Amino acid sequence: MSTTVQNEVNVVIKRALKKAIGPSLGIMIGNVIFRLIYPDLYNETWPNIYMYAALYLIVGYAAWFLVALLIEAGKSKLKQT
């Protein structure tokens, strides 16, 4: 891979990493608030709220990173043509 292509890939990944932070925090906060509002829906088999928040933060970040990566890759392809 040439250095210009590698630099473009690095830029796309960095942009995707930055864009995934906001939505993943929103997913985590929304789910924690929902759990606090409706505690009767969650019994003892669910993890405690800290583990629950961490799980949703990780899953939300991974999902939004992939979405942002696809968007950024599409933008860079359109820019190249």
- Tell me the per-residue pLDDT of 31-61, one tens digit each, with 9 for 90 and over: 899 988 988 888 777 788 889 899 999 999 9
Q: What angle in degrees, to the nearest 10, is found between the helix axes of 21-37 and 3-19?
A: 20
Centroid of chain to Cα 80:
26
More confident residue, 1 or 8: 8
Question: How confident is the model at residue 75, as a pLDDT?
Answer: 86
Q: Which residues contact 57 (CB under 8 A, 6 or more apart)?
A: 24, 25, 27, 28
User: Which residues does 67 contact at the CB level (< 8 Å), separation at least 6?
Assistant: 20
Number of continuous H segments (helices) and E segments (strands) in the chain: 3, 0
Q: How confident is the model at residue 29 (pLDDT cuts 50, 70, 90)?
A: very high
Q: Kindly list the domain boundaries of the chain, sorted by start residue.
A: 3-80
Task: State the pLDDT confidence band at 1, using cuts at 50, 70 and 90.
Answer: low
